[in-house]
Chain A
Amino acid sequence: MTDRPDLGPLIPRQRPMHPVPYDPEYKTSVPRSPKWPLLSMESTPSEETGPRFGHALIGPLDNNLILNFAKDGSPAIGERILMHGRVLDENARPVPHTLLEIWQANAGGRYRHVKDNYLAPLDPNFGGCGRTLTDENGCYQFLTIRPGAYPWPNRANDWRPMHIHISVFGHSFGQRLITQMYFEGDPLIERCPIAATIKARSQLDRLVAPLDMARARPLDHLAYKFDIVLRGRRQSMFENKLEGM
């Protein structure tokens, strides 16, 4: 791809490739979804700039959820996995040095959160959050445990598939994205009303991470690969550099 710097406006979001805001099967979305259409306009410097975070922010265990909350030095309980992938933009260019944050339930399906009173036990050595910066090629990795599925109050017997929540910044505030990674082969994905808010099947498939035995480490951990694509910026020979950017 081109090495042309990012100067143009953000490529408009393709809303049909995203979940619908209003979905009665996901009951909380009913009172929380705007009814009016969004106001669409070409992006401005307010969306094209964004916060940047440096390597000084990141501690040595921040991307190791097995050890970053280990109170007595014991690792977290659960099936050890490596979650890894690349962050690209829509022009297929890597997004280097961008912040990723993840959070997840423990192996029993419970979050370390005051509002989560599911009867599965807390793991004293598992906090459930991590963060990292992508490298110069847009690559990232986390070492963690496979989160458990958990029930949630929605329809009478709804269960969330195993998932890891992911927050990505990119380099523009207009690229900001939060999504979830699911695991290949989980039968609960098909039954999940939150996954089903994405109506384009091919788009839901993109949230399902395949088992990646090439990155698994014998006698240590399995691996799952999860690539992320953020909005790109329009490439143009004719774009003028904007004063003040």
Chain B
Amino acid sequence: MVQPLDILTETPSQTAGPYVHIGCIPSFAGLPGVYPQDLGLSPIAKEANGQIITITGAVIDGTGWALRDAMIESWQPDAAGRFAGHPEADPAVSGFCRFAADKDSGLFTLRTVKPGAVAHRDGGMQAPHISLWIVARGINIGLSTRIYFEDEDNSNDPLLARIEQRPRVETLIAKRTGEGQYRFDIRLQGEGETVFLDL
């Protein structure tokens, strides 16, 4: 025998199930009035500095079907790359948003400020990106991924550089569809499967 380590093990995940909306976005789920409003309705207040953008997409399963019951959370810094809590961060950017696939179309929309580049631990910079966390029935542990932007310089991003199969890099890059408009689909499985992260 050896001495025990002073370390605990993380509590295991379980699927968020089909009714995650009741707990996380109850007004959206048809339960208004429990809270004044759902948490994380917008990651920005009106006066946020920077370019306001809209990202639209769907979470698509291995059969090509867009999930109607997915819930997504996003986390990002302000236009200067500072996260909420940093003394100089833009007070109009909370950086956190919760949104769900539409129950009829499966489409989601994230309206936010385009994030700035963020320093990496080794001193280099990460290209501008938004972190996502996706939960739904059938997803046993929340899936993490990132949205990068096709109109930014992604060439020196340390995470994208680690993707060995270069065509898969495209799964993390939102495509510009108009002024301030982007498309970003999340493919859970199959052709064009999104790169999911373990960070």
Is B one of A's binding partners?
yes
For B65, the chain A residues whose CB sits under 8 A away are 31
Known contacts being A112-B22, A178-B20, is A242 close to B197, with CB within 8 Å? no
- A127 close to chain B: CB less than 8 A: yes
B8 pairs with A179, CB closer than 8 A: no
B121 pairs with A29, CB closer than 8 A: no
- B175 close to chain A: CB less than 8 A: no
Known contacts being A46-B75, A244-B81, is A38 close to B196, with CB within 8 Å? yes
Q: How far is the CA of A23 from the CA of B140 in the complex (A)?
A: 9
A90 pairs with B14, CB closer than 8 A: no
For B114, the chain A residues whose CB sits under 8 A away are none
Chain A interface secondary structure, helix, strand, loop or mixed? loop
For B199, the chain A residues whose CB sits under 8 A away are 10, 40-44, 46-47, 174
- B113 close to chain A: CB less than 8 A: no
Residue count of chain A within 8 Å CB distance of chain B: 90
List residues of B whose CB falls within 8 A of some A CB: 6-24, 26, 29-31, 33-36, 39-40, 61-63, 65, 67, 69, 73, 75-77, 81-86, 94-96, 118-121, 126, 129, 131, 133, 135-144, 146, 158-159, 162-163, 168, 188-190, 193-199
29 contacts between A and B (CB under 8 A): A12-B198, A19-B141, A31-B61, A32-B62, A34-B143, A34-B188, A35-B190, A36-B193, A41-B162, A41-B197, A91-B6, A99-B39, A101-B39, A103-B20, A113-B21, A114-B29, A114-B30, A115-B69, A128-B22, A129-B31, A167-B23, A173-B75, A178-B13, A180-B14, A195-B14, A206-B12, A229-B9, A230-B10, A244-B118
List residues of A whose CB falls within 8 A of some B CB: 1, 9-10, 12-15, 17-21, 23, 26, 28-36, 38-47, 49-53, 57, 59, 62, 68-69, 88-92, 99, 101-103, 111-116, 127-129, 131, 165, 167, 173-174, 176-180, 194-195, 197-198, 200, 203-204, 206-207, 227-232, 242-245
